[in-house]
Structure 1
């Protein structure tokens, strides 16, 4: 593949990563439980991107582009999942993630699953791979190898960015040592995630 195309695609991925979305707030929220859980959420999101790349290479994700109903179903599922995550956190009365997710390894597993599901149930990521990725493929043809290469670049850029968020947020919480600050951030991110879920459901109903 042309290196200039790969560089242009990587630059586009950086711009997309810098745009706040559900994955950003999920990583931030799980980082309150420690850097490790934030990194796990970031890894889950990156894995979801790779699954979308596989779906595009297999021709499955084109259903989202061709079927309004399929797109709506994925959108509703993603909205419900985000709403569930946000409401569950708020119902726990803002207790820190470290206090409610159980053992350290379990927290990391929960963060990984949350990041993965948030990405997989985000139809906008699928449409990105369907509508944008082919523009950077040789002959605009979605071959397995070329599509996976772009998927790896997309996932790697996202992983690096979210990992930085996890490290900075995790260390900031450790440095502050203020439960009230942690709880306030936890409530705020949970509220934003729930709001994103509601807005996704509303847009799917239109």
Structure 2
């Protein structure tokens, strides 16, 4: 791969990352309460890119391109998971009296839930899968091992995603620290949870069309 091709691929990855989607709001939800959880969710999300790269390298993701049923199944699974995350977040806020600091105290015990949520969100995001199906093969060099080349591009895309999402977590947490008002924090928590649920509903609705 030439340097120009590599730069073009990196720019496409960054464009995919900065486009608002479920991962963005998931990282914001965690970062608003604890920057470490936001970073963990961002790293988990970037690990999902490696899973998609492996699927491309093994030829499994081609099923989504050839089978409308397989694509619909991934969309339904992703929609259900996003809806679950949003609803659970809203329920926890309600039980905690709408105070983000109480929810944070409960979930700060372990970063694995945030890491797993980020990983599952990307792994079940069909748009990321389509990006790998449509874009990655165009950058695979001829005459090289297909799987290793695909994993290298997957690692590059994962690194781009990690850098962007970690930066997003830091900025979001700093913003909340600057606006440390209970009403503002509660409103942001509810908004991010509601957007996750809305993404889930929209994904499920599009999967039935």
Which TM class, normalised by the smaller chain length? over 0.9
Cα deviation, residue 3, structure 1: 1.6
Q: Compared with structure 1, are the counterparts of its residues 200 and 142 closer, same or farther at alpha carbon in structure 2 (3 Å cutoff)?
A: farther
In the alignment, structure 2 segments of 5+ residues that lack a partner are none
Structure 2 residue 114 is matched with structure 1 residue 114: no
**How many pairs are equivalent?**
205
Are residues 133 and 126 of structure 1, via their aligned partners in 2, closer, same or farther at CA, if it must alter by over 3 Å?
same
Match 1:155 to one of 147, 158, 162 = 158
CA distance in 1, matches of 2:86, 2:143: 39
Q: Structure 1 residues 33, 90: closer, same or farther in 2, change over 3 A?
A: same
Give the aligned partner of residue 169 of structure 1: 172
Preserved CA contact (<8 Å) 2:78 2:124: yes
> How big is each residue's C-alpha offset from its partner over 1:170-191, in whole Å with a ceiling of 9 and x where there is no partner?
1222232212111100101111
Name the counterpart of 1:133: 136
State the TM-score, normalizing by the size of structure 2: 0.92
Q: CA deviation at 1:140?
A: 9.4
Which stretches in structure 1 are left out of the alignment for 5+ residues? none
Q: Distance in 1 between matches of 2:115 and 2:183?
A: 26
Deviation of 1:85 (Å): 0.8
How do 1:28-47 residues align onto structure 2 when only pairs under 5 Å count?
A: 28-47=28-47
Output aligned runs, 1:178-189, within 5 Å: 178-189=181-192
Instruction: Report the aligned-residue RMSD.
Output: 1.7
Question: Runs ≥4 in structure 1, deviation > 4 angstroms?
Answer: none
Distance 1:87 1:103 in 2: 16
TM-score, scaled relative to structure 1: 0.93
